Amino acid sequence: EENLKLDGNVTARGGNAVYNTTSGGGSGGSVQIVTTKLLGSGHVNVNGGNGTIINSGGGSAGRVSISFWKSEDISLYPEMAREWKGTIIRKGGMGEDLGGMGSEGTLYTTKCQAGYSGAFCEECDIGWFKADYSYLPC
């Protein structure tokens, strides 16, 4: 069994623009996690970098992909991530003056069975339901 205990920080942030130039912020990178079980309370950060003072835009955030390996039983997905209490941060960088803010990053996870949704296939809240195997929310 290949567990991942993530208690630290995993970062693939974009760099900030060079001060006093027209360069924009850099885009966030990608982080892919493939494990049979995710534990710990660490953080994953793929934020975009900030622009400079001369009308430059912020960089878009990157992508985080989390896949649970060696499980064909999709009902086990909530259990595989239940012990991870960390955060995933994927915000676009700030633009300056007339420069726009970078776009929010993306999160890719496995599809969830009926009655479950979210990044870690958590059970739908009471009063909500999802009837199919998909990425859709409850």
Q: What is the pLDDT of residue 73?
A: 66
Helix (H) or strand (E) holding 81, with range, is: helix 77-81
Residue 87 half-sphere exposure toward CB, CA atoms < 13 A:
6
* Domain residue limits at 45: 3-110
Q: What is the mean pLDDT, run by run of 10 residues, along the chain of 138 residues?
A: 89 92 92 90 96 89 86 66 87 90 91 82 89 86
**Both structure tokens of 122:** 């958590």
Q: What is the pLDDT of residue 120?
A: 77
Whether residue 132 lies inside any domain: the answer is no
**Angle of CA points 11, 92, 14, to nearest 5°:** 40
Number of separate domains in the chain: 1
Q: In whole angstroms, what is the distance from residue 5 CA to residue 1 CA? A: 13
Whether residue 99 lies inside any domain: the answer is yes
